[in-house]
Amino acid sequence: MTRRVVITGLGVISPVGKNTEEFFSNLMAGHSGIQRLQSHFIEKLSIRIGAPVNNFNPAEYFTKIQLTGIERFSQLALVAAQQAVQDARLELGEEERVRAGVYMGSCLGGAGTLEDGYVEVFQRNNPRIKPLSVLLSMNNAAASHLSIKYHLQGSNITYATACSSSAIAIGEAYRQIRHGYADVMLAGGSEAMLTLGAMKAWEALQTWRMKIQKTLLLPVNRFQRIAAVWYWAKEPPSWYWKTPNVRLNGVLKSMLN
């Protein structure tokens, strides 16, 4: 037996907006959220752009005691989830919570905390790192915080499937309800990987080029899309040539939009 599944609440905090209305209107206006990064370590990178969640002050949402045990990527998840729960006007009884779960996606989890630990151990030769490092940085920390906060006692799983992590989490949550394993699922994803080590790793993968970076910083209109495609076609990364259909489709779509 399968059941219909409905989405009853939405929430988002992202480089494009701090709630669903702001997020949607900014997307419609063509804002990508990509900008020049102001990080203190930016000089060490050839990647100088990114899409940070600006003006996010954790103190507006959490006490200092709570922040002791909540990493940035979990903070973002909790803020977005709170919007979704409020939007859904979700109120669950004791028995209903047993059949309510959390599926989240996160690829690097608490990358910042992990890097802080590495700096202490490998750079400063300090044998002591913070005792909560594991609990802060593990990929399933955000999902765990959500279960704790909303007393959701059903299945709790975190997917780490690269860029599709959150989409997989939402899709699998859908299947949980559709096939009767759960009645309510809180699903989504969060990431906070604009750290020196994580960005250095992406830089090493050469998925970015400076020229493309420049074009991405511009507001989007038809001519600028064409310019972006021109740069892309002129100096694409090596893997790009191996996927001719992607290239052709990308060029056509950009020209026609």
Partner 1 sequence: MSSLPTIQRMMVEQFDLKLEDLSPDAQLEGLGLDSLSVIEFMFNLEDELKIKLTDERVEIKTVQDVANVVDRIIAEQKPAA
Q: Is 127 in the site for partner 1 (CB under 8 A)?
A: no
Distance from C-alpha of 43 to C-alpha of 34, rounded to nearest angstrom: 18
Q: Which of residues 156-195 bind partner 1 (CB under 8 A)?
A: none
Q: How far is the CB of 100 from partner 1 (least distance, A)?
A: 23
Question: Would you say the C-alpha torsion 179, 159, 144, 142 has a positive or negative sign?
Answer: negative
Q: How far is the CB of 63 from partner 1 (least distance, A)?
A: 7
Q: Which of residues 208-237 bind partner 1 (CB under 8 A)?
A: none
Among residues 97, 130, 175, 247, the one that binds partner 1 under rule CB under 8 A: 130
3 state SS of 169: helix
Q: Is 57 in the site for partner 1 (CB under 8 A)?
A: no
Amino acid at 205: L
Element (H, E) at 166: helix 165-178
Choice between 63 and 257, CB closer to partner 1:
63
Choice between 131 and 244, CB closer to partner 1:
131
Which window, 57-65, 90-98, 112-120, 239-247, contacts partner 1 (CB under 8 A)? 57-65
Distance from C-alpha of 178 to C-alpha of 171, rounded to nearest angstrom: 10
Among residues 131, 204, 223, 244, the one that binds partner 1 under rule CB under 8 A: 131
Q: From residue 177, how far is each of 26, 100, 120, 158 by CA, in Å? A: 32, 9, 44, 17
Among residues 2, 55, 57, 63, the one that binds partner 1 under rule CB under 8 A: 63
Distance from C-alpha of 84 to C-alpha of 12, rounded to nearest angstrom: 8
Which window, 91-99, 105-113, 124-132, 236-244, contacts partner 1 (CB under 8 A)? 124-132
Choice between 124 and 128, CB closer to partner 1:
128
Q: How far is the CB of 131 from partner 1 (least distance, A)?
A: 5
Among residues 28, 65, 162, 163, the one that binds partner 1 under rule CB under 8 A: 65
Distance from C-alpha of 117 to C-alpha of 138, rounded to nearest angstrom: 13
Among residues 4, 40, 64, 89, the one that binds partner 1 under rule CB under 8 A: 64
Choice between 132 and 218, CB closer to partner 1:
132
Question: Would you say the C-alpha torsion 10, 16, 22, 28 has a positive or negative sign?
Answer: negative
Q: From residue 83, how far is each of 18, 117, 146 by CA, in Å? A: 10, 32, 12
Distance of CA 133 to the CA centre of its chain: 20
Amino acid at 74: S
Q: Is 69 in the site for partner 1 (CB under 8 A)?
A: yes
By the criterion CB under 8 A, which residues form the site for partner 1? Answer: 63-65, 68-69, 128, 130-132, 135
